[in-house]
Amino acid sequence: MIERLCVIGVGLIGGSLARALRAAGYVGEVVGASRNAAHLQKAQDLGVIDHYDTDLASAVKDADMVLVSVPLGAMEAVFAAIQDALGPDAVVTDAGSAKASVVAAVQAATGETPAWFVPGHPIAGTEQSGVEASFPELYQGRRVILTPTEQTDAAATRKVRAMWEAAGAVVKEMEVGHHDEVLAATSHLPHMLAFALVESLARMSEQREIFEYAAGGFRDFTRIASSDPVMWRDICVANRDALLAMLKSFRGDLDDLSAAIEKRDEDRILAIFQDAKAARDAFDG
């Protein structure tokens, strides 16, 4: 059981974790932290946290578990602010969507790769953001990937794993670089496509009519374009190399489909669609 959990960045991810651990009886006290007192007061009013502190160093004092759930571009500043205030038995994890950049951030802030840090990524969420969107069932049956480094203390990893399992998640471990490649393909690329498609259509002169007649497929595919733009800007920068490789690969596949359509190559078009359907049906199965 976690005696004192400090959540730095009490939004959908951090708020849902706090709610889930409360529901499971796995946490004694939850402290919220950020620079925004009004946001933290809302979290307290909703019962997500017990109390809060806008001073990050004060917030993590006496916490045995700290979750850093802030945009990737803010990670280094957070680690710098809390490193000297952590207790001797404190464990710190994060919820960043790109792991190499977070490991680099903690190294830049502390001058090392601390044994107390367990990089993590809950693969869960909605297009909504903010603590008011949080709910305790968010992690039920969802995957959480931990990417401990060679320096990470094994006991710290076990503690973080147990926390996420108590929240209902299925926990896997993966190497940092492999994580970033996999997520570039399965999460980051789809978000880029959704953002790009909606932005492209919004610039068309007939945009009112286009969105008025948008069917369910369009709504389903572009739902994730309502995600937090700041968070996704940071992910683009943080996972730049892996994401660019996926965009290049996808561009080639899109060119292949365009050429088949231009040539009226019905066999090639059908083969592409059949392969895609088989792969998607296998995924659901």
pLDDT tens per residue across span 215-246: 788 888 888 898 889 889 999 999 999 999 99
pLDDT of residue 205: 60
Which range, of 138-142, 155-159, 218-222, averages the lowest pLDDT? Answer: 218-222
CATH of residue 254's domain is: 1.10.3660.10
Do residues 66 and 86 lie in contact, with contact meaning Cβ atoms separated by under 8 Å?
yes
Indicate whether 152 and 245 sit together in one domain: no
CA–CA dist 214, 219 (Å, integer)? 7
CA–CA dist 60, 70 (Å, integer)? 15
Indicate whether 105 and 216 sit together in one domain: no
Indicate whether 44 and 6 sit together in one domain: yes
pLDDT above 70: percentage of residues in the chain: 98
pLDDT tens for 113-133 read 999 999 999 998 777 788 999
pLDDT of residue 95: 96
Indicate whether 245 and 153 sit together in one domain: no
Indicate whether 20 and 102 sit together in one domain: yes
Counted domains in the chain: 2
CA–CA dist 142, 117 (Å, integer)? 22
Q: Mean pLDDT across the chain, nearest whole number?
A: 93
Q: Which of 68, 39, 40, 64 is nearest to 52 (CA)?
A: 40
CA–CA dist 13, 128 (Å, integer)? 10
The helix/strand/coil state of 27 is strand
Indicate whether 153 and 62 sit together in one domain: yes
pLDDT above 90: percentage of residues in the chain: 84
Q: Which domain holds residue 231?
A: 178-284
Q: If you ran DSSP here, which 8-state letter would residue 169 be given?
A: P
Residues 6+ apart with CB under 8 A from 24: 166, 167, 168
Indicate whether 59 and 167 sit together in one domain: yes
Indicate whether 53 and 77 sit together in one domain: yes
Indicate whether 11 and 121 sit together in one domain: yes
The helix/strand/coil state of 270 is helix
- The distance in angstroms from the start CA to the end CA of the chain is 36
192 band by pLDDT with thresholds 50, 70 and 90: very high
Indicate whether 140 and 232 sit together in one domain: no
pLDDT of residue 85: 97
Indicate whether 51 and 110 sit together in one domain: yes
